[in-house]
Structure 1
Amino acid sequence: MLTFYLFPISYAIATFPIAAVLFTLPFLLFQYRKHGYINKYRAFLLYLFLLYMMNALYLVILPLPASIHNEPPQAASYVQLVPFHFVLDILKETAVDPQQPATYLHLLKERAFLQVVFNVLLTVPFGIFLRYYFRVRWAACLLLSFSLALFFEITQVTGLYGIYDYPYRLFDIDDLLTNTTGGMAGFVAAAWISAVLPRMDKLDEHVDFSAKRVTYTRRGLAFMMDWFLALPLLTFLTALDFPYPFVSMVLVYFMVIPYATNGFTAGKWIVRIRLQGKGKRIRLSELLIRYGLLYLLLGGLHVLMLPIGSSSLPNVAKALCTVGLFVTDMTLGIHLLRCVFNRSRRLFYEAKSGTRHVIHWDEENKSRVQA
Structure 2
Amino acid sequence: MFHSYFFPISYAFMMFPIAALVFTLPFLIVQYRRHGYIHKLRALILYLLLLYLMNAYFLVLLPFPSSRHNAAPSGSIVQFIPLQFIQDIVDGSSIIPEQISTYWSLLREPAFLQVIFNVALTVPFGMFLGYYFRTRWVVCILLSFAFSLSFEITQITGIYGFFDHPYRLFDVDDLITNTIGGIFGFRISIWISGLLPRIEQLDTNIDRAAKRVSYTRRGIAFLIDSMVWSIGFGVLFGFDIKAAFWIVTGIYFMLVPALTGGRTLGKWMVRIRVKSSGNLAFFWALMIRYGLLYWVLLGIHALLLDSALLGHLSSVWNMLIHLFVLLIDLAFFIHLVISIFKKETQLMYEKLSRTSHVISWPEKRLQSDVSSNSPVES
Distance 2:96 2:279 in 1: 81
Q: Distance in 2 between matches of 1:114 and 1:182?
A: 14
User: CA offsets per residue over residues 313-365 of structure 1, 9 Å max, x none?
Assistant: 32222222222221211111111000000124731101101111000114422
Are the aligned partners of 2:212 and 2:345 in contact in 1 as well (CA < 8 Å)?
no
Q: 1:162 to 1:282 in 2, by over 3 A?
A: farther
Provide the residue aligned with 1:274 in structure 2. 273
Deviates more, 1:186-195 or 1:286-295: 186-195
State the AA in 1 paired with 2:318: K
1:235-274 matches, cutoff 5 A: 235-242=234-241, 244-274=243-273
**SS of the counterpart of 2:21?**
helix
Does residue 185 in structure 1 map to residue 184 in structure 2? yes
Structure 1 residue runs of 5 or longer lacking an equivalent are: none
Counterpart residue type for residue 104 of structure 1 = Y
Q: Which amino acid aligns with 2:169?
A: L
Q: Match for residue 365 of structure 1?
A: 365
Q: Secondary structure at the match of 2:274?
A: strand
d(CA) in 1 for partners of 2:248, 2:344: 32
Report if the CA contact (8 A) 2:153-2:170 is conserved.
yes
- The aligned counterpart of 1:293 is 292
| 2: CA distance, partners of 1:59 / 1:366 | 43
Q: Residue 278 of structure 2 contacts residue 355 of structure 2 at CA under 8 Å; is this kept in 1?
A: no
**Mapping 1:74-85, distance limit 5 Å:** 74=74, 76-85=75-84
| One-letter amino acid matched to 1:11 | Y
Aligned pair in 2 of structure 1 residues 344, 22: CA closer, same or farther (>3 Å)?
closer
Q: By how many angstroms is 1:280 displaced? A: 10
Equivalent residues, number = 370
Deviations 1:157-188 (A, max 9, x none): 11111111221111000001111111111111
Assess if the C-alpha contact under 8 Å between 2:273 and 2:359 holds in 1. yes
Alignment of 1:218-237 (within 5 A): 218-237=217-236
* Structure 2 residue aligned with 1:333: 333
Alpha-carbon contact 1:223-1:267 (below 8 Å) kept? yes
CA distance 1:345–1:145, shift in 2 (3 Å): closer
Structure 1 segments of 4 or more deviating over 4 A? 279-282, 367-371
Under a length normalisation based on structure 2, what TM-score does the superposition of the two structures give?
Answer: 0.94
Pairing 1:1-371 to 2, within 5 Å after superposition: 1-74=1-74, 76-242=75-241, 244-278=243-277, 283-308=282-307, 311-344=311-344, 346-366=346-366
Matched residues in 2 for 1:55 and 1:336: separation? 39
Letter in 2 for 1:350: E
Distance 1:165 1:233, change over 3 A: same
On the 8 A contact 1:131/1:187 being kept in 2, the answer is yes
Q: 1:66, CA displacement in angstroms?
A: 1.3
How many angstroms apart in 2 are the aligned matches of 1:270 and 1:278?
23
Measured in 1, the distance between the counterparts of 2:61 and 2:294 equals 50
1:311 Cα deviation from its structure 2 partner: 2.2
Measure the CA separation in 2 of the matches of 1:171 and 1:345. Answer: 57
Q: RMSD across aligned C-alpha pairs, in angstroms? A: 1.8
- Cα distance change on mapping 1:8 and 1:51 into 2, 3 Å: same
The alpha carbon displacement at 1:240 in A equals 3.3
| Secondary structure of 1:103's aligned partner | helix
Task: Tell me: CA distance 1:281–1:7, structure 2 relative to 1, closer, same or farther (3 Å).
Answer: farther
Q: What is the TM-score normalised by the length of structure 1?
A: 0.95
Q: CA-to-partner distance for each residue in 1:248-300, whole Å, 9 max, x for gaps?
A: 11221111111111211111011000001116996112111101110111111
Q: 1:228-251 CA distances to partner (integer Å, 9 max, x unpaired)?
A: 111111222233344622221122
The answer as to whether partners of 2:213 and 2:345 remain within 8 angstroms in 1 is no
CA contact (8 A) 1:210 1:359 kept: yes
Cα distance in structure 2, aligned partners of 1:162 and 1:237: 44
Kindly, what percent of the aligned residue pairs are identical?
50
Gaps of 5+ in 2: 373-378
Taking the aligned partners of 1:44 and 1:50, their CA distance within structure 2 comes to 10
CA contact (8 A) 2:8 2:62 kept: yes
Give CA-to-partner distance per residue, 1:50-79, whole Å, 9 cap, x none.
0000000000001111111222223x2110
Structure-2 separation of matches of 1:280 and 1:128: 54
Segment of structure 1 superposing worse, 125-134 or 64-73: 64-73
In 1, Cα distance between the equivalents of 2:279 and 2:120? 56
The alpha-carbon distance between structure 1 residues 118 and 345, as it changes in their structure 2 partners (threshold 3 A), is closer
1:27-53 deviations in Å (ceiling 9; x for gaps): 000000000000000000000000000
Q: Secondary structure at the match of 1:69?
A: coil
Structure-1 separation of matches of 2:111 and 2:36: 49
